[in-house]
Amino acid sequence: MQVSQFQELIERIYLARDSKRGLAGTHMWFCEEVGELTRALRRNDRAELEGEFADVFAWLVTLASMSGVSLEQAIEKKYARGCPRCHATPCACA
């Protein structure tokens, strides 16, 4: 699945409800999910990690959609040439 396809899917599933909550409220949910990911990283449980990474990405996508940002276009614009500062892959910044 492409990032744009996932963003469209998440919009169909959650955007109306998340928009009612507002950007600030949705951001708090995102932060809570980041905390859950942090705990999963500490536990190093593969199944738990997969679920939490997916949740964090879904909430990030929702925030992008609510802000009118195509995450796929933003990623392409910033990282297509490698490191945004030195443009190398891997990064060669000091």
In DSSP notation, 21-41 reads: H-HHHHHHHHHHHHHHHHHHH
User: Using 50, 70 and 90 to split pLDDT, how confident is the model at 75?
Assistant: very high
- Domains of the chain plus CATH, in order, are 3-79 (1.10.287.1080)
* Mean pLDDT, residues 47-51 taken together: 95
CA distance 18 to 13: 10
Query: What is the rounded (10 degree) CA torsion for 38, 27, 1, 10?
Result: 130
pLDDT digits (tens, 9 = 90+) for 10-44: 999 999 999 999 999 999 999 999 999 999 999 99
Q: How far is CA 16 from CA 22, 28, 58, 69, in A?
A: 10, 17, 14, 16
Q: Using pLDDT thresholds of 50, 70 and 90, give the confidence band for residue 6.
A: very high
- Residue 74, pLDDT score: 97
Looking at every residue in the chain, the average pLDDT score rounds to 96
The string of DSSP letters for 39-78 reads HHHHHT-HHHHHHHHHHHHHHHHHHHHHTT--HHHHHHHH
pLDDT for position 81: 95
Position 73 scores a pLDDT of: 97
